[in-house]
Structure 1
């Protein structure tokens, strides 16, 4: 199974760092953000990576090269038009040869065991679609996840502040089936003018009866959004999280 990491965006919220660095290449405690992420995914048994690049792509490509020094193989795809996570995923279609694949945002990092748990869930329980949810006070910055049992009933991308009846947020970590590409091709842009993976999944649930198993992160699990400058600054000071990696 291949892992796709989306790393094309500019990272406006991380200025001024992103004026010099691609967001995933910002150094923290001696390593690029991307290094921690790849290291963690690799522990789940995945060694084949597709990196979707765009802004300052040469930084990523010069750093990883073919991936051999990291014990992985890497293919690069350039997202010329930054039209959302769904747009980024769609250009990967011809590179996916298996029925299922792993997908994550490049600026999200969680407890390494979560990646392993998700991959194992696919292998043991044969789930076609899996997503990870982290707990927040209000998911207005991400995507609100509503459950029915252990499965996703609905996803609302960027809900208005204070309107969600759930504290579950899309953590940006998925196992997806190749069927998603068919829906992506007809998916309408969101209010932000972008094609969104969460909205596409929500359409699959509604129109195709997809069953999306949700892995809920535990209270003490580590979750970092490296698109959040305040959180990044805090993680630069606090080194306790490094013990996980």
Structure 2
């Protein structure tokens, strides 16, 4: 199985830290953020990576090169037109030869066991689609995730629900296992008002119109999740190193 990591965006919410460096390469306790993500995914046994680059692509390519120094193989795909996560993923289609692949946003850190749980559900329980969620007080900044009565499979997802309206405390974490069916479905969805193809919209189409069964991993309320989506979160995580031990558990 190959892993795709999306690292093309500008990281505008991380300014001024991203003025002169790609967001995935910002230093976190003397090591690039992306290096932690790669370590976590590699811990599952995955060795083949595709990194989607764009803004300041040389920051990533010059650091990781072909991945051999890290015991992995890296291919790079450039997203010249930053047309969303779905647009980035479609650029990787020709490089995915197996029926399934792993996907992660390039600004999220979770414990190694969470990556492993997602892979185990695919390998041991034959789940075609796996979506990882994290607990939040209110998912209004992200994507609210609703599950069936058993809390196992996805029932609905609502992108950026108005603050205080969500009945779910679970948020799309940005970590997935996908069947290759996602590519065809991405070509069927409409471009958003922001001019982007959005992966969550494709997931919802597959759920509602194609009878996809999407297994949900629910991270516990107290589980560590490092969100580097804005500078305030980054500053807090970079000021305290206690959480580093929790990554490898």
Matches within 5 A, 1:70-149: 70-148=70-148, 149=150
For 1:90 and 1:155, the matched residues in 2 are separated by: 22
Deviation >6 Å, runs of 4+: none
Q: What TM-score does the superposition give when structure 2 sets the normalisation length? A: 0.96
Distance 2:202 2:193 in 1: 14
Unaligned stretches of 5+ in structure 1? none
Residue of structure 2 in register with 1:27 after alignment: 27
Q: Is the aligned partner of 1:226 residue 2:248?
A: no
Q: 1:28-47 counterparts in 2 under 5 A?
A: 28-47=28-47
| CA–CA separation in structure 2 for the residues paired with 1:116 and 1:39 | 12
Aligned with 2:243: secondary structure? helix
CA shift digits 1:86-109 (9 cap, x unpaired): 111111100100000000100011
Matched, 1:200 2:202: yes
**Matched residue, 1:209:** 211
CA RMSD of aligned residues (A): 0.9
Once the two structures are TM-superposed, the CA of residue 221 in structure 1 deviates from its matched residue by: 1.4
User: d(CA) in 2 for partners of 1:102 and 1:30?
Assistant: 27
Residue by residue over 1:24-61, the C-alpha shift from the partner in whole angstroms, topping out at 9 and shown as x without a partner, is 00001110000100001000110100000000000100
**Structure 2: gaps of 5 or more residues:** none
Aligned residue among 236, 242, 245 for 2:244 = 242
Query: How far apart in 2 are the matches of 1:19 and 1:76?
Result: 22
Q: Does 1:50 align with 2:59?
A: no
1:191 Cα deviation (Å)?
3.4
Moved more, 124-133 or 224-233: 224-233
5-14 or 115-124: which moved more?
115-124
Distance of 2:89 and 2:163 partners within structure 1? 28
CA drift at 1:192: 2.8
Task: Count residues in correspondence.
Answer: 245
**Equivalent pair of 2:53/2:77 in contact (CA under 8 Å):** yes
Residue 81 of structure 1: SS of its match in structure 2?
coil
1:238 CA displacement: 1.2
Q: How far apart are residue 131 of structure 1 and its match?
A: 0.4
- Matched-pair contact (CA < 8 Å) for 1:25–1:60: yes
The separation in 2 between residues aligned to 1:192 and 1:231, in whole angstroms, is 25
Question: After alignment, is 125-134 or 137-146 more displaced?
Answer: 137-146
